[in-house]
A = this chain, B = another copy of it.
């Protein structure tokens, strides 16, 4: 005992376990004992690295939304034309959400806490991560519309629709599994979903070329 593991590893283990616990039970339902147990660490170590439960939750959110932001900005800052950029953005968003089963629930929960005074982190999350993404995507939409490539959609409706298609599928996956009887999270199903989402975005956003129109999946 004593200073066995690297401190960075312990901190990371705590963050990972906390993400799991918060995603599964929400901040009120999360148990610090459970986090410590899953991180194979004493509970007091949580308070050694993080001030309190709220601070730990904030660190988890920074981790998750920070990852999302840098992922999609990798695409949004590229110089693709609007069509390709939107498809690449949706694909990157989808892949990020699909890459970690914690993220959709974590984000879904935080979005539901956006009421006044419900979350002390929501303003930070919006200002640092969500608002910049939204602004950048809206700009791409505006440019595509100006170029005549996109239909004149309203970003305030279109952007949350895209997020809904992606996030809801994963956050409701456990329930869907009970309803339809198979696992919606197998690689095949996820790939299917990805194609369906991209197809929908295309159909709903791109001005149809005079000759062709691709079929609907979903």
Contact = CB atoms under 8 A, between A and B. Distances in A.
Most buried by B among A154, A157, A217: A157
Interface string A48-88: 00000000000000000000000000000000000000000
Contacts of A192: 154, 157
Tell me how many chains of this kind the complex includes: 2
25 contacts: A24-B115, A28-B29, A108-B112, A109-B112, A111-B171, A111-B172, A111-B174, A112-B172, A112-B174, A114-B172, A114-B175, A114-B177, A114-B178, A115-B174, A122-B175, A123-B178, A126-B179, A131-B179, A134-B180, A154-B218, A156-B182, A160-B169, A164-B167, A164-B169, A208-B213
Given A167-B168, A174-B115, A156 B130 contact: no
Interface of A: 24-29, 105, 108-112, 114-115, 118, 122-123, 126, 130-131, 134, 151, 153-154, 156-158, 160-161, 163-165, 167-169, 171-172, 174-180, 182, 184, 192-193, 196, 200, 203-205, 208, 213, 215-218
Given A168-B168, A175-B126, A112 B105 contact: yes
Nearest to A192: B157
B175 A130 contact: yes
B168 A164 contact: yes
B168 A215 contact: no
B24 A25 contact: no
